[in-house]
Amino acid sequence: MLRIEPLRSDHADALLAFERENRAYFARSVPDRGDVYFTAAGFAERHRALLAEQHAGVCRFHVALDEEGSLVGRVNLVDLADGRAELGYRVGEQAAGRGVATAAVAQVCRLAATDYGLTSLTAVTTLDNTASMTVLARNGFTRVEDTTVAGRPGIRYVRRLLGH
């Protein structure tokens, strides 16, 4: 069973290994994070910054762990303000196509409504990322407008959260 955990400092090693292992896979659909991000020092600095943002309540970062406890994905809520946030997620290549992203997004949507008190989420994806569009549709997101994502044609989605 998939488990979602808030990002913690002790996730750093597993998260860096996950990002390194999936760097080329992710770069096919989202802009690469740059070489410094993948160095031990660069990643450690970024990880500390994310934890500080989370502690400040600006963002909520999560890791997705499989039944063996291996890190298989991430689901993030960023720019929390006025009951809203933007959802972002990524699942490693080895877990792709197995429903992991759909399940992880569903769990974080529940957390957003119940634990974080959010009323709506937005998400964007590129037009050529049909897997991401499917994940969003399966989780009750509605297409609201065309946009661009890193210079590529994309779609913006929104989801009102239950109870709000």
pLDDT in tens, 53-93: 999 999 999 999 999 999 999 999 999 999 999 999 999 99
Provide the terminal-to-terminal Cα distance of the chain, rounded to the nearest Å.
28
Domains in the chain, number: 1
pLDDT at 163 over 70: no
Query: Mean pLDDT, to the nearest integer, of 108-125?
Result: 96
Query: Mean pLDDT, to the nearest integer, of 93-119?
Result: 95
CATH of the domain at 42: 3.40.630.30
By the 8 A CB rule, do 17 and 70 touch? no
Helix (H, G, I), strand (E, B) or coil at 9: helix
Residue 156 CA to residue 102 CA, distance in Å, equals: 17
pLDDT value of position 22: 87
Q: Say what the pTM is.
A: 0.91
Q: How confident is the model at residue 32 (pLDDT cuts 50, 70, 90)?
A: low
pLDDT at 162 over 60: yes
Token pair in block for residue 121: 């989420």
In terms of residue numbers, what domain contains 27?
A: 3-160
Question: How far is Cα of residue 148 from the mean position of the Cα atoms in its chain?
Answer: 18
pLDDT value of position 41: 80
- Percent of the chain predicted with pLDDT > 70: 95
pLDDT value of position 67: 93
Instruction: Find tokens 């109870």 and name the residue.
Output: 163
- Percent of the chain predicted with pLDDT > 90: 74
Closest by CA to 59, choosing from 43, 41, 78, is: 78
Query: Mean pLDDT, to the nearest integer, of 30-35?
Result: 67
E strand or H helix at 141, and its extent? none
pLDDT at 31 over 70: no
Query: Which residues are paired to 89 by β-bridges?
Result: 75
DSSP string over 15-69? HHHHHHHTHHHHHTTS----GGGGSHHHHHHHHHHHHHHHHTTS-EEEEEE-TTS
Instruction: Find tokens 């992710």 and name the residue.
Output: 26
Token pair in block for residue 57: 């309540």
